[in-house]
Structure 1
């Protein structure tokens, strides 16, 4: 996975542009409304989804597997944002707790055990009454069912990228015990689910 993303960022650089994703804007509005101040973004990429939180007074910490992506983030957004270089599967990178965690289009790239560990690790790093917002691709995506079947609802369509396609039932299965309280459909370049949880 490291090699795949490193090659992609070297080759395609700012491949998604510099504007935040639609889900990020929704998460930002939600965080602002709930007074979130300190945000962790596992899989921060080159930082396009971090900037809107920072512009609204939040401190952002990132985790990113690709060194090139981190360099791009520094180029565009400066050096004051802490970004840990490594895989989200190796969380936690510090013992700090955050009142907001935003994880965009990452969880569906992991296998079942890695997904559970990521959710648990994020939940562990939430403050009491903190929120975590995940986005995940759904079975309504055009590539669902295409490529090599790896396991239930998980396919390898592009070499090196195995994707698990969610529906509301699988979201509930994986997130229910972690304070799940809302699932919203969001149409990005693919149909996604915006998953909100709260730590009580």
Structure 2
């Protein structure tokens, strides 16, 4: 996975442009309304989604597997945020608790055990009454059931990228015990769920 993303960022640089995703904007609005002041972003990439939080006075800490992506984040955006270089599989990187966690288009790239660990690790780093929002690709995506079948609902269409496609049932199965309170459909470059959880 490290090699796959490093090669992609070296080759394609800011491959998704510099505008934040719709999900990041929706999350920023919710976080501001609910007094979230510091956010952890696992899989921060080159920082396009971090900027919308930073620009609204929210402190951001990131985790990123690609060294090139981290360099792009510091070059293009702000240097006054900590980004840990490593895989989310190695969480936690610090002992800090966060009011909010925003994890964009990452969880569906993991296998079953890795997804469980990421959700639990994120939940464990939330303050009481903190929120964690994930985006995950849905079965409405055009590539669902295309490519090599890896396991149930998980396919490898592009070499190196194994994707698990969610429906509402699988979201509930994985997130219900972690304070799930809403599943919102959002159209990004792919159909996504914006999965909202609160730690009580």
**Displacement over 4 Å in runs of 4+:** none
Q: Within 1, Cα distance between the matches of 2:176 and 2:7?
A: 36
* 1:18-167 paired onto structure 2 within 5 Å: 18-167=18-167
SS at match of 2:57: coil
Partners of 1:38 and 1:79 in 2: CA distance: 16
Q: Distance in 1 between matches of 2:66 and 2:127?
A: 28
State TM-score, norm by structure 1: 0.99
The Cα offsets for residues 137-167 of structure 1, whole Å up to 9 and x where unpaired, read as: 0000000000010000000000011000000
Q: TM-score, normalised by structure 2?
A: 0.99
Q: Secondary structure at the match of 1:6?
A: helix
In structure 2, runs of 5+ residues without a counterpart are none
1:9-29 CA-to-partner distances (Å, cap 9, x unmatched) read: 000000001100011000001
Output the CA distance in 2 between the equivalents of 1:85 and 1:74. Answer: 13
Which string of whole-angstrom CA distances, capped at 9 and with x for unpartnered residues, describes residues 173-196 of structure 1?
A: 000000000000000011000000
- Partner Cα distance (1:89, 1:167) in 2: 24
Deviation by residue 1:87-127 (Cα, 9 ceiling, x = unmatched): 00110000100000000000000000000000000000000
**Alpha-carbon distance between aligned partners in 2 of 1:171 and 1:78, rounded to the nearest angstrom:** 33
- The reply to whether residue 12 of structure 1 matches residue 12 of structure 2 is yes
Name the residue aligned to 1:174. Answer: 174
Rounded to whole Å, the distance in 2 between the matches of 1:78 and 1:60 is 10
Shift of 1:78: 2.9
CA distance in 1, matches of 2:27, 2:168: 19
How many pairs were matched up?
Answer: 200
CA RMSD between the two structures: 0.4
Once residues 11 and 56 of structure 2 are traced to their aligned partners in structure 1, the CA distance between those partners, rounded to angstroms, is 32
Unaligned runs of 5+ in 1: none
Deviation, structure 1 residue 86: 0.1
